[in-house]
Structure 1
Amino acid sequence: MTTRTQRSRTNPDLGMLAGRLLFAVQNELFTALAAKGFDDLHPRHGAVMAYLEPSGVRATDLARLSGQHKQVIGTLVDELERLGYVRRHPDPADRRAKLVCPTERGLEQMRTADKIMAGLQDRHARRLGREAFAQFKAAFMDVTEHQRRVVAKKS
């Protein structure tokens, strides 16, 4: 009989694997960002910054894309606004809605994070082989989106 700890080491479930990957990627990304002058950001801010577009994104879309509750996104946007990374502007398509738009500092952080993430992914693609990495990423995206659809149907 294997214990839960042994199983988590030799045959971790999807949640364990996804969590390990998330925390390892966040650690590398935010450590590198801090070294480049973005030491006021924390992994929780990724729920906004990772999905931000230069032209802006509605908070409801940030919540949907990140899988976070709207209230959590609202709190994060408030923090990022105080830190100078984003501003809220009226949405030209619907004046009742607001767009979360990056400031110049936000755009600089986005460019820096994109470079860091590209390097991280390139390192794994070289290690596994580009084709194997592309297949892994496609399968991972498929599993992730399928799981999100299953959960959405149950909500």
Structure 2
Amino acid sequence: MRRSERKRNEPDLGILSSRTLFSLQKELFAALAEQGHPRLRPRHGAVLAYLDEEGSRATDLAARSGQHKQVIGTLVDELEELGYVERRPDPADRRAKLIVPTGRGLDQMARSEEILAAIEERHAEAAGAADYATFKRVFRLVAERQSGQAE
């Protein structure tokens, strides 16, 4: 079997992961656009997916998302301009800033959770609840091991 055939018929972890990510992002951001958030893009997920409701430091967002702090800073600038986040002094350290979701940001976060829950429910129904739970457990383990979080 040629390499290209093997890649199509037996895709590796990288291909499967990217297919999953890109199709998930496409569905999520299309649904968000329909629900009043048309200017958000998948790149904004590096901030929004990891942002705590009470706010997060840019360095924490960078660490959680795997992005450089400069990239996070650019995305925060965009999201601030779009009205999804604001920068506030960190009460624990006045020299630091927290990135805090606005009302619009909180709305997007809640809608994203609902959309993603529906997507997961659809996949669990198709695969069977037990198999989907096993898939998520194993996929989490692989993701953690790959990123060096588990040994």
TM-score scaled by structure 2? 0.96
2:50 matched residue in structure 1: 51
Q: Which runs of 5+ in 1 are unaligned?
A: 151-155
Q: Report how far residue 61 of structure 1 moved.
A: 0.8
1:2 matched residue in structure 2: 2
Query: Equivalent residues in 2 for 1:109-124 (5 A)?
Result: 109-124=108-123
Q: Report how far residue 7 of structure 1 moved.
A: 1.7
Q: What is the aligned length? A: 149
Runs of 4 or more above 6 Å deviation: none
CA RMSD of aligned residues (A): 1.0
Query: Equivalent residues in 2 for 1:121-136 (5 A)?
Result: 121-136=120-135
AA partner of residue 76 (structure 1): L
Question: Any idea what the Cα deviations from partners look like across 1:54-109, whole Å, max 9, x if unmatched?
Answer: 10011111111111111110100000000000001111111111111000000001
Query: Equivalent residues in 2 for 1:55-134 (5 A)?
Result: 55-134=54-133
SS in 2 for 1:149: coil
Q: Which runs of 5+ in 2 are unaligned?
A: none
Using the alignment, how far apart are the partners of 2:34 and 2:52 within structure 1?
Answer: 24
TM-score scaled by structure 1? 0.93
Identity level (%): 58
Question: Any idea what the Cα deviations from partners look like across 1:38-63, whole Å, max 9, x if unmatched?
Answer: 00000000000111111001111111
